[in-house]
Amino acid sequence: MILTVTLNTALDITYRVRSLRPHATHRVSEVTERPGGKGLNVARVLAALGHEVTVTGFTGGGTGRIVQERLAATPGVVDALVPTGGATRRTIAVVDERTGDTTQLNEPGPAITPPEWSAFQEAYEDLLAPASAVALCGSLPPGVPVGAYAGLIRAARAAGIPVLLDTSGEPLRRGVAARPDVVKPNTDELAELTGSHEPLRGAQAARRRGAHAVVVSLGPEGLLAATAEGTWRATPPARVHGNPTGAGDSVTAGLLAGLVERRPWPERLAHAVALATATVRAPVAGEFDLGTYEELLGRVAVTGEVSAA
């Protein structure tokens, strides 16, 4: 079982409009709702790939009930969310059908009380026992300590469970110091962490700060990985046009699947890039077509070298 942690879960709401214009009234042509937050998105992709996944984090209020109802209808995903007195946040995406651009509005999330945080930590430690890997994903809701991910990483490491961390800012800086197995920043997040705007140099600096492996998202240019085994670059077969929403979470899912399946790093990166590219191509944001993913997999270019150490 793979465990994904989404402390700041959400109900993702997407509106499609013909053309988004400031200071104007718009007629919405389509509305979709689904459980959201990075870890829930990762879980959905992993389940589609055939993995058993348990999700945890916080849920509350009417929005939280909708999230849990939708999770119950998702095959392969087990709901282990912890209740909170506040309402789960909503994220609003407005898609301009004319340009394909997406405008995102993200609520901050409910304020978590100290007793609620303690209850989550107890639940998390219980969930570690059957887990083969853990993903810690996304932002922290108000009230959760900024060093929360560092503590959760240490708990997983003490249980012998590999951890992937996908967050940003101060939670990323503190989390890296706790020595996660993999961190997955984008170039901006990596530059904020290390001060380097050159991806390979930044990835190597992040490893020196504690991360065992660093996989940098280069957007449409693919992935760069710096690991103890070597460094690699994985590139999509061609520049892809579409909606990038959820592509980063598909990368995380691909890396986790490769971790638990014990694939070598070049294969992990190829699967992650193929999943992300299939996600961008999909007509529904954050989804992917299995056939497209499998077709792309053989055309991802992976270059690099094995470490001499």
Task: Please name which of 72, 78, 80 lies closest in space to residue 51, comparing C-alpha atoms.
Answer: 78
Beta bridge mates, 3: 54, 134
3-state secondary structure of 45: helix
Q: Which residue has the tokens 């058993």?
A: 52
Active site residues: 249
d(CA 296, CA 221): 15
| Burial annotation 136-158 (CB, 10 A radius, 16+ → b, else e) | bbbbbbebbeebbbbebbebbbe
